[in-house]
Amino acid sequence: MKLKSQIPNFITLLNLFCGCAAIINILDHQFVAAFWFLFAAGWFDFADGLVARLLNVSSEHGKELDSLADMVSFGAVPAVIYYTLLFIGDAAAPASVPDPEIIGLPVSWSWYAAPGLIVAMFSALRLAKFNLDTRQTENFMGVATPTSTVFATGLMLIYALDPFGWAAYALSPFVLYPAIIAFSYLLVSEHPMFSFKIKGAKWAGNETRIIFAVLAIVLLVVLRTAAFPFIVGVYLIINLVSPPTAQANTSNE
């Protein structure tokens, strides 16, 4: 087995490592640290495929390993985030929103928070479906698991950093339960969603991606750490208003 062929797999395993580390930090209520591990997982998820193409060592083994790593980093992680936020919100009610740095609540089993884990189930369905779907390469059918994770991570940061005094909303069941239902559906839906693969440096063919990128930057400047759920919201609205055309699947999510 050539060492060169294992480089992309090693990068994929780094994605898996960061996903596991993020889960541990979420359960320990170290939410900012969890964010940085997820940020690293996202870069490793992007890099493994890029390196595999550059080295011309793409393989079915690597694609399967990538899906297994994604199931942890972008399937289990958002489920754990929803579970933890619901658990904290339930434990804090009717008191004021607790400080995530000093709350000290042990995360144990809670039927109130259990619906958060549904996202992991639908993420697994999504990844299994994607591996067999021949329609997706430049665009997706349904929401990709990293997009679902960005939304959940954004709620986690809103609670942890409390920008604009919005922390209570990140713990509200009126926000979390609908988000769980919506993303569980969107993960396995048949609605076309544009991917973030840029086609060269021209405006033609990249119009939607460029417009979205500009809007995302504006939201980041204005809302800072609270921007991520709104960025995902803009992404969903653009796709609902002007869905792209799905293509044949030749790559990983």
Residue 127 lies in a domain: yes
Residue 135 has pLDDT above 50, yes or no: yes
Residue 229 lies in a domain: no
Contacts of 35 (CB under 8 A, 6+ apart): 153, 156, 157, 160
Q: Read out DSSP for 80-112?
A: HHHHHHHHHHHHHTTSPPPPTTT--------TT
Residue 167 lies in a domain: yes
> Are 248 and 134 in contact, with CB atoms under 8 Å apart?
yes
Residue 207 lies in a domain: no
Q: What is the pLDDT of residues 184-202, one digit of tens each?
A: 999 999 888 888 766 656 6
Other Cβ atoms closer than 10 A to 28: 13
> Are 142 and 190 in contact, with CB atoms under 8 Å apart?
yes
pLDDT value, residue 93: 64
Give the pTM: 0.88
Mean pLDDT of the chain: 86
Domain containing residue 169: 3-195
pLDDT value, residue 208: 84
Q: Domain containing 173 — which CATH number? A: 1.20.120
The CA distance from 188 to 175, in Å, is: 21
Mean pLDDT value across residues 174-178: 97
Domain count, the chain: 1
**Model confidence band, residue 98 (pLDDT cutoffs 50, 70, 90):** low
Residue 221 lies in a domain: no
Residue 57 lies in a domain: yes
pLDDT value, residue 156: 97
Q: To the nearest 10°, the Cα dihedral for 11, 16, 34, 216? A: 60
Residue 244 lies in a domain: no
Contacts of 60 (CB under 8 A, 6+ apart): none
Tracing tokens 């993960």 back to the chain, one arrives at: 187
Residue 8 lies in a domain: yes
pLDDT value, residue 58: 75
pLDDT value, residue 249: 47
